């Protein structure tokens, strides 16, 4: 048992959660009415299923293999975030405490600012388990400045920072630290590749298997963008850097197994062609929009069949924009994946009830799934707009803005997504909804995702947007009824204003400016906190948890 496991279980023992012989007890606090039971109730169960009738016999055989490849990403993520999760969960018995540890992949509540909910565990380390616990930022920067090679290795998205035998900081590649799990996943990808009739999918799976074993993902990212006619898909590997709240460098292991909805994807395809013109029209000086995203970007709709690792921890994403490699983005573009079945579940079970409670009654008719789908879609498309390198050319935006980069990028995607919706509606490229539908649904969407917590990138972005939009007259709150009303002209002006400000922050690499902006904006007012508390009182869930896997899908192994 590792030192963290021993320490945490000792803390649990000291708190009285275990009996004298170490057996988990079920105290009164673990009843269905306990505070932790209520926290578990913030997540509503959703079965990840889809219509598999269109799959070929070989694809049906592939699907369990892809799920088997995804499972080791869960193991790796637990080691990256909090490797004592399973031992702590076992020590807590079978009550709500254990279930909440499993949902959060640790003892910190992701919907409550990473507040510890198990006595004695302390604060969530900002660098998770990817840096030495006693390392300071200054020490890291000194080590990274020792040589260009040292800086590249220590800042790599695919290394764990450890101390060597002399106590100095060193970078250890993921494929060495997590070698057994990476090889296990790679072997399953190769088995699946052998069954793939689609040549693009086969090439991608083979290259991704190699990438997991080498930490060199660029070739597989390009192959993933090149494949166009596949029915099944798997997004797998160390991808997003939200886990690293110290610097924002380190990528967390995750996986999605997906079924493409080819009919919906065909309907979305034409919007990617609009990217160059939309980039040229951004409301900023030329220097901040001079980059040209790759022309191979595309949009696709999917049904999600399995989540693992970072993707499955806490709140669940409903759309993906990848790859994150800036060089691949500039050369080839990105792919935006809309997870339609999960989006529909969140809209029906969460967003609509929120709108019923908090949106002005005469604007509730503007709450539309098609507007929600498009807002999310153009959020993902908007990640491809703007700038990837600072205008002085010295660094990528991610490098310059460090741990602030993720939240600011999510804010950019939100406001540029609305900018795109506005322009496409004006050009009659987007039909079936109105600007009012999109603006009101967007406000309800902010009130939904702001509940994800102030430490989560999307939650911080939404808190900052809400503060900025309120100050700039995009909406107003009816003090008598506690409901929110969109001012349509004010919303449009605020969108352009905030888009320009964020793009300048990114282009200038203004780390200190972003720090100040987020410190001022990314906190919830007491009034808003009270309004959000009403949602909890009404029993409206915050997010979803999944029942998933081959058995749920009705697949035989």
Do 278 and 238 share a structural domain? yes
Burial class (CB in 10 A: 0-12, 13-18, 19+), 165: exposed
Q: Cβ(65)–Cβ(191) under 8 Å?
A: yes
- Count Cβ neighbours within 10 Å for each residue of 131-161 and write b for 16 or more, e otherwise: bbeebeeeebeebbeeeeeeeebbbbbbbbb
User: What pLDDT digit, counting tens, does each position of 47-76 carry?
Assistant: 999 999 999 999 999 999 999 999 999 999
pLDDT for 351 equals: 97
177, 208, 229 - which closes a domain: 177
Picking from 134, 159, 177, the residue at the C-terminal end of a domain is 177
Helix (H, G, I), strand (E, B) or coil at 284: coil
Mean pLDDT of 414-430: 90
| Position 10 confidence tier, pLDDT thresholds 50, 70, 90 | very low
Q: Is 526:482 a contact under the CB 8 Å cutoff?
A: no
Q: Which 8-state DSSP code applies to residue 399?
A: H
Q: List Cβ neighbours of 235 (8 Å cut-off, separation of 6 or more).
A: 254, 255, 256, 258, 320, 322, 337
* Highest mean pLDDT pick, 273-287, 442-456, 505-519: 505-519
Helix (H) or strand (E) holding 408: helix 405-426
Please check whether residues 224 and 157 belong to one and the same domain: no
Please tell me whether residues 426 and 527 are part of one structural domain.
yes
Report pLDDT for 25: 39
What is the per-residue pLDDT across 501-538, written as a single tens digit (0 to 9) for each? 999 999 999 999 999 999 888 778 889 889 999 998 99
Query: Which pLDDT value is given to residue 31?
Result: 55
pLDDT of 13: 35
**Per the domain annotation, does 50 fall within a domain?**
no
- Tell me which of 113, 146, 177 is where a domain ends: 177
pLDDT tier at 14, thresholds 50, 70, 90: very low
In a domain, 48, yes or no: no
With 60 as the cut, is the pLDDT of residue 325 above it? yes
Q: Are residues 97 and 246 in the same domain?
A: no
Considering the domain architecture, whether residues 137 and 173 belong to the same structural domain is answered as yes
Does 551 map to a domain?
no
Which residues, 6+ apart, have CB-to-CB distance to 123 below 8 Å? Answer: 114, 116
**Cβ-proximal residues to 320 (8 Å cutoff; 6+ apart), any chain:** 235, 256, 336, 337, 339, 380
- Say how many domains are in the chain: 2
Lowest-pLDDT range of 52-56, 194-198, 393-397: 393-397
Q: Mean of the pLDDT values across residues 123-136? A: 97
Give the mean model confidence (pLDDT) for residues 466-480: 92
Residues 389 and 472 both lie in one domain: yes
pLDDT at 287: 87
SS3 at position 389: strand
Other residues' Cβ atoms within 10 Å of the Cβ of residue 549: 15
260 and 231 in contact (C-beta within 8 Å)? yes
pLDDT, residue 375, reads 93
Domain range enclosing 221: 179-544
30 or 157: whose pLDDT is higher? 157
Name the most confidently modeled range: 35-39, 243-247, 275-279. 243-247
The answer to whether position 398 is within a domain reads: yes
Which pLDDT value is given to residue 210?
98
Residues 6+ apart with CB under 8 A from 340: 261, 264, 301, 302, 303, 373
Domain match, 169 and 185 both: no
User: What's the rounded mean pLDDT across residues 104-122?
Assistant: 93
Rounded CA-CA distance 387/384 in Å is: 8
What pTM, to 2 d.p., does this model score? 0.83
């Amino acid at each position: 048992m590792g030192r963290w496991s021993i320490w945490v279980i000792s803390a649990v023992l000291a708190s009285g959660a275990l009996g004298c012989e170490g057996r988990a007890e079920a105290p009164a606090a673990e009843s269905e009415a306990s505070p932790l039971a209520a926290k578990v109730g913030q997540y509503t169960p959703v079965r990840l299923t889809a219509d598999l009738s269109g799959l070929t016999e070989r694809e049906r055989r592939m699907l369990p293999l892809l799920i088997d490849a995804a499972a080791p990403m869960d193991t790796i993520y637990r080691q990256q975030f909090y490797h004592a999760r399973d031992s702590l969960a076992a020590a807590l018995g079978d009550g709500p405490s254990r279930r909440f540890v499993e949902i959060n992949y640790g003892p910190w509540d992701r919907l409550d600012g990473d507040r510890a909910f198990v006595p004695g565990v302390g604060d969530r380390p900002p660098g998770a388990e990817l840096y030495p616990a006693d390392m300071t930022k200054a020490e890291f920067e000194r080590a990274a400045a020792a040589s260009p090679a040292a800086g590249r290795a220590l800042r790599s998205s695919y290394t764990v920072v450890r101390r060597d035998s002399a106590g100095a900081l060193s970078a250890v590649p993921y494929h060495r630290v997590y070698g057994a799990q990476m090889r296990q996943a790679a072997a399953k990808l190769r088995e699946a590749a052998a069954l793939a009739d689609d040549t693009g999918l086969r090439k991608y799976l083979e290259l991704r298997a190699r990438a997991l074993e080498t930490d060199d993902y660029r070739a597989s990212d390009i192959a993933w963008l090149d494949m166009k006619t596949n029915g099944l898909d798997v997004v797998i590997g160390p991808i997003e850097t939200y886990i690293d709240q110290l610097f924002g460098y380190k990528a967390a292991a995750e996986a999605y197994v997906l079924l493409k909805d080819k009919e919906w994807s065909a309907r979305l395809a034409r919007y990617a062609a609009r990217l160059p013109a939309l980039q040229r029209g951004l409301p900023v000086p030329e220097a901040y929009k001079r980059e040209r995203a790759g022309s191979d970007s595309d949009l696709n709709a999917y049904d999600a069949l399995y989540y693992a690792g970072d993707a499955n921890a806490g709140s669940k994403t409903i759309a993906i924009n990848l790859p994150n490699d800036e060089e691949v983005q500039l050369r080839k573009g990105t792919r935006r994946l809309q997870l339609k079945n999960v989006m529909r579940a969140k809209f029906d079970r969460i967003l609509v009830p929120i709108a019923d409670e908090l949106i002005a009654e005469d604007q509730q008719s503007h709450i539309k799934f098609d507007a929600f789908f498009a807002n999310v879609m153009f959020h993902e498309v908007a990640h491809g707009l703007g700038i990837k390198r600072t205008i002085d050319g010295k660094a990528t935006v991610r490098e310059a803005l460090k741990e602030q980069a993720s939240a600011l990028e999510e804010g950019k995607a939100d406001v540029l997504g609305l900018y795109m919706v506005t322009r496409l509606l004006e050009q009659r490229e987007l039909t079936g909804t109105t600007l009012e539908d999109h603006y009101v649904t967007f406000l309800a969407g902010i009130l939904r995702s702001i509940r994800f917590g102030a430490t989560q990138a999307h939650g911080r972005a939404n808190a900052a947007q809400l503060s900025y939009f309120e100050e700039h007259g995009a909406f107003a709150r009816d003090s008598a009824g506690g409901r929110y009303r969109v001012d349509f002209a004010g919303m449009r002006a605020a969108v352009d204003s905030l888009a320009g400000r964020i793009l300048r922050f990114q282009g200038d690499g203004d780390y200190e400016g972003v720090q100040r902006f987020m410190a001022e904006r990314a906190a919830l007012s007491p009034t808003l906190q009270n309004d959000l508390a009403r949602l909890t009182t009404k029993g409206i869930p915050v997010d979803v948890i999944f029942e998933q896997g081959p058995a749920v899908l009705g697949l035989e192994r």
